[in-house]
Amino acid sequence: MCGICGAVILSAESLPADGRRRALEAMNTQIVHRGPDEDGFYVGDGVGLAMRRLSIIDLKTGQQPMTNEEGTIWLVYNGEIYNHGDLRPGLEAQGHRYRSHSDTETIVHLYEQYGKDCVRHLRGMFAFALWDSRRRVLFAARDRLGIKPFYYRLSRESFVFGSEIKAILAYPGVRPQLNRRAIPEYLAFGFIAGPETLFDGIRKLPPGHTLEIDQSGKVQIER
């Protein structure tokens, strides 16, 4: 089990640049139990990614955030890609250069090769967020059965995400508020089936879906 979190800044007034690393550290601290082995951070122009890692595959060189050869794509990821060993030879044959034996790096190269369709090649349990600095978009995805969680909050100022809601609540300016609309469903069934949560404004990406957001705040969610 690993944990991921991060934010895309949508308004210049939302959070000063020097406070973004501190915000990521505060969020990451909330999910330290998901990955006791190490942490990792990427802070770019208008975006920040963080993760806590439980080392399982490629213990020495599988650190995250993971980047491509040019440093234009950055990825944080929670899960396991069962078929990454089968995908690697084909990607290498198309010119992609691996620097690790990690399944994480396979996602990076798949995105370079296929864009959003990269998820169609993946077999496994996963939730990831990928920053494409060339297109200036964040691309996220969740596995088909929803084994790995992905929560997010969209406001005028920012798009904030995390493996757990408590990471989102640690972001500056976010206050927990009860989502009264979800109470009847929760009391009737003991869980909330759709994208809502018990926290107002915080949603979950449905299983088998992708999400893309640009820095204008435009969101596209696709099955």
Q: Which residues are catalytic?
A: 2
Nearest-10 Cα torsion for 114, 120, 126, 132 = 20
**Token pair 């109470």 in the structure block, residue:** 183
CA distance linking residue 164 with residue 112, whole number of Å = 28
Omega before residue 176 within 30° of 0, cis: no
CA 40 vs. chain centroid, Å, equals: 13
Q: In what order do the strands lie in the sheet with 202-204?
A: 38-44, 47-53, 3-9, 158-162, 151-154, 202-204
